Structure 1
Amino acid sequence: MPIIALVIIGAAAGFLATRLMRVQTDIPTTIFIGIAGALIGGLVLRFLLLLTGWAAGVVGAVLGAMLLIFLWRQFMSGR
């Protein structure tokens, strides 16, 4: 069952990532991108939590704010 869940979550994450980044891929590539991204993101997050503890929350908040600014600029530049 965990493999099926990984594929479903990977497909959803890959779909969202490819749409947000405006990349045209086929379904297997989209699923692979989502699964690989989830693994990489999970490893990086665990490493940051292990290395920095509470400071990882600050890093996450800064990265989230930077992502929000990036998205804001992308959507507002077209208007």
Structure 2
Amino acid sequence: MSIVFLLMIGAAAGFIATRIMGVDTGLFTTIAIGVLGALLGGLVLRFLLMLTGLAAGLVGAVLGAIVLIGLWHLGTRR
């Protein structure tokens, strides 16, 4: 996966995940959440569900980003 493609999917996934979770973040944080979520979610979905393709990557990226936002909220509430 190229860096540009990863950033585009990450930006989209981060945007969708922050809107679903109701989090207000900056552009860099949104992209970072999306890219890390794409890596985490993509790996989990490929191993567990054996899905491939763009749709699986986007779904995995959004789910991974949602998990990261949840963990981020747990870490910052203290």
Cα distance in 2, alignment partners of residues 40 and 17 from structure 1: 14
Whole-angstrom CA distance in 2 between matches of 1:38 and 1:28: 15
Task: Report what 1:6 is aligned to.
Answer: 6
Q: Given the two structures, how large is their TM-score scaled by the length of structure 2?
A: 0.58
| Greater than 6 Å deviation, 4+ residue runs | none
Give, in whole Å, the separation in 1 of the partners of 2:24 and 2:31: 13
Give TM-score, length-normalised by structure 1.
0.57
DSSP 3-state at the match of 1:35: helix
Q: Percent identity?
A: 66
| Distance in 2, Cα, partners of 1:15 & 1:9 | 10
SS at match of 2:23: coil
Q: 1:44 matched to which residue of 2? A: 44
- Give the letter aligned to residue 25 of structure 1: T
Paired letter, 2:45:
L
Offset of residue 49 of structure 1: 3.7
1:30 partnered with 2:30: yes
Q: Tell me how far 1:42 sits from its aligned partner.
A: 1.0
Amino acid at match of 1:44: V
Structure 1: gaps of 5 or more residues: 51-79
- What CA RMSD, in Å, does the superposition of the two structures yield over aligned residues? 1.7
